């Protein structure tokens, strides 16, 4: 990877991380407050993941298509690591949440650190082994119609997200059929697009779940800005000034989306 390619991968990772930083800040700041340290965390983490993902998955962004894939893969990895940490390894007072953010059983947080960490290691192992299994399956059967691969393999990340979300949210909010199937169907659609730019199924799974998270969080955060997120439902707004001040980040967020969509358009042209 040349210096220019490294900088490009770092920039793509930075944009992916910044994207998550903005929607995270926008939905949480009125309830938790705002600090630059917390805000830049995902952006810097994404910047670190971008070059590593480009090297590990051979996604050096030498074309518009590979840039689109790398953005999605970085997004998926950043969210996977961040959510795994918050669920299994972070110790935090859960009383401020309506829906617990750390591992819970039927809505009751698991207090044992040892149990949470053991299950967290198992959770990460399942994800890693799943991706290795996808690679192994592809090596054995070779390929298949793009639509079929997208609908089956490409949707795997969406199914993983759907079951995890139902486990966390359903005991508090109830089970919603449309919400449950939303992530798998969206991941399959994104995988179909991603498979135009890469023939590696495991990469398509990661990129598809990255774009699925980006899309669902955009919809929930910016299309219903006055509706508290599930984890803060019924909780007071402790920092009301931030309801207005947070708007400064919206143009940046939209610009990132437009850049990604424009790059994808160029790649498909």
pLDDT digits (tens, 9 = 90+) for 28-85: 999 889 999 999 999 999 999 999 999 999 999 999 999 999 999 999 999 999 999 9
Residue 212: pLDDT band with limits 50, 70, 90: very high
Q: pLDDT value at position 132?
A: 93
Mean pLDDT of 96-102: 80
Tokens representing 216 are 């669902």
Q: What pLDDT is attached to residue 162?
A: 82
Q: What was the pLDDT predicted at 121?
A: 94
| Per-position DSSP letters for 58-111, written without gaps between them | T----SHHHHHHHHHHHHHHHHHHHHHIIIII-----TT-SS-SS-EETTEE--
Dihedral sign for Cα atoms in the order 71, 259, 219, 208: negative
Which pLDDT band, with edges at 50, 70 and 90, does 269 fall under? Answer: confident
Query: pTM of the entire structure?
Result: 0.92
Percentage of the chain with pLDDT > 70? 98
Query: Which pLDDT does position 106 carry in this prediction?
Result: 78
- pLDDT at 109 (0 to 100): 84
Q: Is the pLDDT of residue 263 over 90?
A: yes
Residue 125 confidence (pLDDT): 94
pLDDT at 236 over 90: no
Long-range CB contacts (< 8 A, 24+ apart) of 95-100?
96/31, 96/32, 96/235, 97/231, 97/232, 97/235, 98/172, 98/230, 98/231, 98/232, 98/233, 98/234, 98/235, 99/168, 99/169, 99/172, 99/173, 99/230, 99/231, 99/233, 100/168
Q: Which range is least confidently modeled, 63-72, 135-144, 166-175, 184-193?
A: 166-175
pLDDT band of residue 1 (cuts 50, 70, 90) is confident
Partners of 105 in the β-ladder: 108
Residue 197 has pLDDT above 90, yes or no: yes
Q: Give me the pLDDT at residue 167, please.
A: 76
- Average pLDDT value for residue range 173-199: 88
- pLDDT above 90 covers what percent of the chain? 63
């Amino acid at each position: 990877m040349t210096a220019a390619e490294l900088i490009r991968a770092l920039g793509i990772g930075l944009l992916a991380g910044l994207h998550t930083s903005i929607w995270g800040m926008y939905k949480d700041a009125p309830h938790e407050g705002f600090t630059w340290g917390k805000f830049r965390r995902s952006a810097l983490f994404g910047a670190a993941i971008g070059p590593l993902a480009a090297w590990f998955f051979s996604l050096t962004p030498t074309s518009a298509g590979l840039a689109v894939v790398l953005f999605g893969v970085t997004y998926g990895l950043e969210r996977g690591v961040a959510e795994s940490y918050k669920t299994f390894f972070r110790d935090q007072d859960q009383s401020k949440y309506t829906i617990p953010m750390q591992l819970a059983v039927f809505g009751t947080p698991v207090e044992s650190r040892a149990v949470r960490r053991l299950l967290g290691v198992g959770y990460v192992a399942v994800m890693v082994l799943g991706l290795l299994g996808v690679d192994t399956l592809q090596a054995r059967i070779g390929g298949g119609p793009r639509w079929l691969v997208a609908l089956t393999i490409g949707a795997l990340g969406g199914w993983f997200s759907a079951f995890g979300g139902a486990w966390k949210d359903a005991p508090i909010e109830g089970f919603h059929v449309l919400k449950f199937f939303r992530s798998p169907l969206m991941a399959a659609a994104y995988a179909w697009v991603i498979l135009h730019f890469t023939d590696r199924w495991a990469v398509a799974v990661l990129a598809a779940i990255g774009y699925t998270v980006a899309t669902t969080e955009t919809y929930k955060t910016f299309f219903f800005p006055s509706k508290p997120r599930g984890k803060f439902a019924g909780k007071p707004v402790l920092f009301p000034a931030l309801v207005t001040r947070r708007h400064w980040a919206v143009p940046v967020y939209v610009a990132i989306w437009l850049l990604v969509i424009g790059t994808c358009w160029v790649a498909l042209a």
